[in-house]
Amino acid sequence: MIISVDEFLKGKIAAEAFAPGRVNLLGEHTDYNDGFVMPIATPQRTYVALGYSENDMCHAYSATLDQTISFKHKGDLPGGFASYLEGCMRMMDEAGVAVPPIDIYINSDVPMGAGLSSSAALEVAMLRALRSLLNAGIDDVELAKMAQQAEVKFAKVKSGLMDQMASSVGDMEHILFLDIRTLERRLLPLPPNTELIVINSGIPRNLSASKYNERRQECEEAARLLGVSSLRDAPGLDAIEKLPDPFRKRARHVFTENERVKEASAGVTAERFGHLMNASHFSLRDDFEVSIIPLDVLTDLMREHVDVYGARLTGAGFGGACVALCRKGQAKLVSEWALTEYNNTGQHGRILLPQPVAPL
Ligand code: GLA
């Protein structure tokens, strides 16, 4: 039986925090190339509550998984969801804030493996709770960087900074335009009279098992061949076209994707934004080669609808969710229609936005 927070922490909550997941609207696989991204925070979020441990061990309970893991802080790295927690605790230590033995309660309605960045939501919620418990003077950008480092160092995924920044400084009402190199950021409105649809394809993806790290290396090699420190500085399509494959295709995706984000961030119509989303999907499918057939089927379906301006996979690819920009007021009907059509192809998709169930 699922344990409540009061039961687990024996009524003694010393600190608590929430953090959202994110849906990326444009700018995929650009963050680790020093580029530009446009995510938005999800209404789905992760809750972390902390209490002081009664012994020298940390005890972590996930109500989502109904699983408890006990571990010693700075001992052997624990497995499963606790690796993210211990990663965050070690980052706090590295920042000069000593973490005592604690008990950690987690609950979340950010779906795992759906490309909504449940790991960033967990890291940011955990670090927010630790910041409040330990009165640490860490700002939201620093906190996002610590969350990313926890992921890179302890969960062994060389992810970029987008997800943690979206979770830490983004909100549900605005698109977060972010220049990853300078960390210049702006909160932008959705195109006029639009709303979002997000559907989980039902195909789970696991970042470390995916080709994510391989794509990252290919981008580094493409940058090296172009003589620049990162693909952000690629001189242009003429030079890119001369590269051997797969570096030509990888670099072409990153270059055109950055151009799309820059154009969209300047403010465009719903039609143009949708067109840029479609182009992003085709580039991820053909040049970056991170789409899979169910994601192509789902986005094609959504694109067919007269009230949809554009659709694309969101997140790293290889599974997870798709996002569509829809005429305001139509998202519920259109998402239900698209889900039925998609599931008729033998899949088990789920609507994530508009949020079908009451929030956590
Ligand atoms: C994952 C990573 C992000 C980003 C996306 C792809 O979500 O965590 O840093 O690279 O993939 O855009």
User: Considering just the CA atoms, what is the radius of gyration of the chain in Å?
Assistant: 20
- The pLDDT assigned to 206 comes to 64
- The pLDDT assigned to 144 comes to 98
Pocket lining: 32 vs ligand 1, CB cutoff 6 Å: yes
- If pLDDT is split at 50, 70 and 90, which confidence band does 356 have? confident
Pocket lining: 160 vs ligand 1, CB cutoff 6 Å: yes
- The pLDDT assigned to 349 comes to 97
Q: Is residue 359 part of a domain?
A: no
- The pLDDT assigned to 123 comes to 97
CB contact at 8 A, 324 and 197: yes
Q: Which long-range contacts (CB under 8 A, 24 or more apart) does 182-190 make?
A: 183/141, 186/265, 188/38, 188/265, 188/267, 190/325
Q: Verify that 182 and 290 share a domain, yes or no.
A: no
Q: 129, 157, 188: which is the final residue of a domain? A: 188
Contacts of residue 209, Cβ cutoff 8 Å, sequence gap at least 6: none
Q: Is residue 23 part of a domain?
A: yes
Pocket lining: 163 vs ligand 1, CB cutoff 6 Å: yes
pLDDT digits (tens, 9 = 90+) for 166-216: 999 999 999 999 999 999 999 999 999 999 999 999 998 765 556 888 999
Distance 155 CA to ligand 1 centre (A): 14
- The pLDDT assigned to 2 comes to 92
- The pLDDT assigned to 314 comes to 97
- Please give the average per-residue pLDDT across 282-289, as a whole number: 98
Q: Is residue 131 part of a domain?
A: yes
List the CATH number of the domain containing 235: 3.30.70.890
Question: Quick check: 268 pLDDT over 80?
Answer: yes
Q: Verify that 42 and 173 share a domain, yes or no.
A: yes
Question: Quick check: 341 pLDDT over 80?
Answer: yes
Atom number in ligand 1 closest to CA 29: 12
Q: Is residue 358 part of a domain?
A: no
Q: Is residue 360 part of a domain?
A: no
Pocket lining: 216 vs ligand 1, CB cutoff 6 Å: no
Q: Verify that 81 and 217 share a domain, yes or no.
A: no
Distance 116 CA to ligand 1 centre (A): 10
Q: Verify that 180 and 199 share a domain, yes or no.
A: no
- Please give the average per-residue pLDDT across 310-336, as a whole number: 97
**β-sheet with 350-353: strand ranges across:** 308-313, 321-327, 194-200, 350-353
- The pLDDT assigned to 104 comes to 98
- If pLDDT is split at 50, 70 and 90, which confidence band does 155 have? confident
> Could you confirm whether 163 is annotated as catalytic?
yes
Alpha helices for the chain (secondary structure H): 5-8, 82-94, 118-133, 140-154, 162-169, 212-226, 237-241, 247-265, 270-286, 293-304, 331-343
Pocket lining: 123 vs ligand 1, CB cutoff 6 Å: no
Please tell me whether the overall predicted TM-score, pTM, comes out greater than 0.75 for this model.
yes
DSSP symbols for 227-238:
TSSSGGG---HH
Atom number in ligand 1 closest to CA 212: 11
For the chain, the domain total comes to 2
Which structural domain range is residue 222 located in? 194-353
Q: Which of 31, 163, 179, 307 is catalytic?
A: 163
Pocket lining: 159 vs ligand 1, CB cutoff 6 Å: yes
With vertex at residue 23, the alpha carbon angle to CA 20 and CA 29, rounded to the nearest 5 degrees, is: 120
Q: Verify that 16 and 49 share a domain, yes or no.
A: yes
pLDDT digits (tens, 9 = 90+) for 231-254: 999 999 999 999 999 999 999 999
Q: Verify that 27 and 138 share a domain, yes or no.
A: yes
Distance 1 CA to ligand 1 centre (A): 34
- The pLDDT assigned to 207 comes to 53
Distance 159 CA to ligand 1 centre (A): 6
Q: Verify that 216 and 319 share a domain, yes or no.
A: yes
Distance 28 CA to ligand 1 centre (A): 7
- Please give the average per-residue pLDDT across 56-74, as a whole number: 97
- The pLDDT assigned to 205 comes to 77
Q: Verify that 165 and 206 share a domain, yes or no.
A: no
Ligand 1 test: best mutation among 22, 31, 117, 118, most atoms within 8 Å of CB?
Answer: 31
CA distance 53 to 63: 18
Q: Other C-beta atoms within 10 Å of 242: how many?
A: 10
Question: What does each C-alpha distance from 106 to 5, 30, 77 come to in angstroms?
Answer: 8, 31, 19
- The pLDDT assigned to 113 comes to 84
Q: What are phi and psi of 185, to 5 degrees?
A: -140, 150
Name the average pLDDT for the chain. Answer: 95
Q: Other C-beta atoms within 10 Å of 304: how many?
A: 12
List the CATH number of the domain containing 84: 3.30.230.10
